Amino acid sequence: MATKPQPSKSRSAGKGTPPGRRAPRRTPRRSTKRDRLVRLLKAKSGREIAALSRALGWLPHTTRAALTRLRQAGYAVEKLPRQKNGRSRYRIAGEATKPRP
């Protein structure tokens, strides 16, 4: 019977950090869309869903879902009274009360 070929040990050569050398430093985490959304919502006058959607490249239902996720994460997302144009505006009234997941 033929036996299964065993993987070569040389495949793992070069992986990891060689002894005596430091691993390369990681670059700081880039800004996420969630971070951008939080920054946009911190404006005193708030933002409309359409403006948030354009800024983030999302559809309106995705933007509303992201607002829900921010609330679940502990952010105090306020819905401001409707403007004369009939559109609601949203803003963050404070910092997150729970740690960020």
pLDDT per residue over 52-74, tens digit each?
Answer: 999 999 999 999 999 999 999 99
How many angstroms separate the first and last alpha carbons of the chain? 53
Supply the pLDDT for residue 95. Answer: 67
Q: Report the alpha-carbon distance of residue 1 to residue 11 in Å, rounded.
A: 26
Domain locations in the chain?
Answer: 32-96
Alpha helices in 4-96 (DSSP H): 33-41, 49-56, 60-72
Pick the CATH number of 32-96 from 1.20.1250.20, 1.10.10.10, 3.40.50.1100, 3.40.640.10: 1.10.10.10
pLDDT beneath 70, residues of the chain: 1-2, 5-18, 95-101
Supply the pLDDT for residue 36. Answer: 94
Supply the pLDDT for residue 54. Answer: 96
Q: Report the alpha-carbon distance of residue 39 to residue 56 in Å, rounded.
A: 12
